[in-house]
Amino acid sequence: MGLALLICAGFGASAQQRAPRPHLLLAPTTPLPREGTYIANDDVTFVVDRRGDYVRLRFADSDEVFYLSNEAAPMGGRVLKYDTGAVALQVAGWGGVTLYTSEARNGLPAEYSDVVRNVDPVPVAAKDVKRFALKLSQELSSRDDYAIGFAADWDKLEQTDDLREMSCDAMRNATYALLELGKTAKRRVVSDRLHIVRVIPGAKPDARFQKGVLTLTYAPKEGPSARPSSLAIAEVLQAAF
Q: Supply the pLDDT for residue 60.
A: 93
Residue 40 and residue 138 in one domain: no
Average pLDDT over residues 83-87: 96
- pTM equals 0.84
Residue 11 has a pLDDT of 29
pLDDT of residue 75: 80
Domain residues for the domain of 58 are 36-114
195 shares a domain with 236: yes
Of 51, 83, 114, which one is at a domain's C-terminal end?
A: 114
Q: Are residues 136 and 192 in the same domain?
A: yes
pLDDT at 6 over 70: no
Task: Say yes or no to pLDDT of 27 above 50.
Answer: no
pLDDT surpasses 90 at 221? yes
Angle, in degrees to the nearest 10, between helices 161-181 and 129-144: 0
The total number of structural domains in the chain stands at: 2
Answer whether residue 234 is part of any domain. Answer: yes
Last residue in a domain, options 114, 144, 162: 114
Residues 97 and 156 in one domain: no
If asked whether residues 154 and 231 sit together in one domain, one would say yes
Asked whether residue 27 is domain-assigned, the answer is no
**Mean pLDDT for the chain overall:** 87
Same domain membership, residue 139 and residue 46: no
**Confidence class of residue 118 from pLDDT cuts 50, 70 and 90?**
confident
Average confidence (pLDDT) over 155-170? 97
What pLDDT does residue 74 have? Answer: 80
15 belongs to a structural domain: no
Is 22 domain-assigned? no
**Same-domain check for residues 62 and 166:** no
132 and 217 co-located in one domain: yes
Give the residue among 9, 36, 184, 61 at the shortest CA–CA distance from 114.
Answer: 36
Residue 1 confidence (pLDDT): 42
Going by their DSSP bridges, the two strands 213-218 and 196-201 should be labelled as: parallel
Whether 41 is covered by a domain: the verdict is yes
Most confident of 41-45, 113-117, 203-207: 203-207
As a whole number, mean pLDDT of residues 148-152 equals 98
State which of 114, 145, 173 marks the end of a domain: 114
In percent, the amount of the chain with pLDDT more than 70 equals 88
Q: How many angstroms separate the CA atoms of 133 and 143, rounded?
A: 16
- What CA–CA distance (Å, rounded) separates 184 from 35? 34
